[in-house]
Every structure is written in C-alpha cells, then in structure tokens.
Amino acid sequence: MVYAAEYERVARRNNSLSSTGRTLVFAYFFIVSFGIAGAFASLGAWLILPFAGLEMLGLYFAFQYIDRHAADFERIEITGDRVKVEWHDAGRATSQEFNRQWARVVADSGGRLALRSHGREVEIGRHMNVEQRLTLARELGSKLHA
C-alpha cells in the first residue's frame, strides 16, 4: 500500500544560468580574452597568450563543475511514521530514513540544520539560505510531532 506524503519539501540549487547560457558566457569570455591577448601578442607581448589559455582553462573547469552540480537537490518527506531525506548530488542519489517519533531537528547558531535520531545525524538544507533553514526547522519541528 502506497501512502501519500503528509509533508514534502524539495530544495534545489540556485542556477541563474542555463547550460546554454553558461556556454554563451564562456564563448564571450573566450573571444574577448583571446582577442585582447592576440592584440598584445601582435605588438610583441606574445607571453600573454599562455596566460590567457590558463585563464580560459580555469573558467572551463569552473563551468564544468557548475554543470555537473546544476541538477542537485534535496528532498525531505514525511509519510506515516517515516521521515525520508534524499539527496541527489552530481548524479548520485543517497537517502536516509528515520522514525518520525524519534527524529529531532537540530539547529545551531551558525545556521547548520540537521535531523538526528539514535546516534545518526544528517545535515539538511544545504541549498537554502539561513532564513530558509530556520523556516524549515520550524515546519519540520511541528510536522514531526503533530
């Protein structure tokens, strides 16, 4: 028998640029950087070309990292007497389940939020700001023991 979730919250990364947008931004920076480097190289400062190449290589790897993590998310679901926390990080899925009656929400002064039960603790709200984590802590606290 499948139960409908009583509570579900999904947190995703803030991706202000799509994959196509990142490609266009990279192309723009590539053209501008090598255009400037080419102009200086034509004036005799040829040593600027390898540095422009290193700069673009660093930007390429940064954009690859962003693309790899663009679809990351975290889901918290309360169904019956179970609390399930599920993470998708760079294509890998991980989940933890807790007994609803024993699970406790733990928030510290640094803004870290976690679920704890029977010696196990998992951090939640990684894709949220501090204000959103505090709201989540209040919601989860009331839903866990309702």
Size of the chain in residues: 146
Query: Domain locations in the chain?
Result: 7-13+72-144, 19-69
Q: Is-contact 9 144, C-beta < 8 A?
A: no
- Strand-pairing partners, residue 117, are 120
From first to last of its 146 residues, the chain has per-residue pLDDT tens of: 556 778 999 999 888 889 999 999 999 999 999 999 999 999 999 999 999 999 999 999 999 999 999 999 999 999 988 999 999 998 899 999 999 999 999 988 788 899 999 889 999 998 898 889 989 999 998 888 76
Residue 30 token pair: 């590539």
Q: Is-contact 144 29, C-beta < 8 A?
A: no
Is residue 117 packed enough to be buried (19+ CB in 10 Å), middle (13-18) or exposed (0-12)? middle
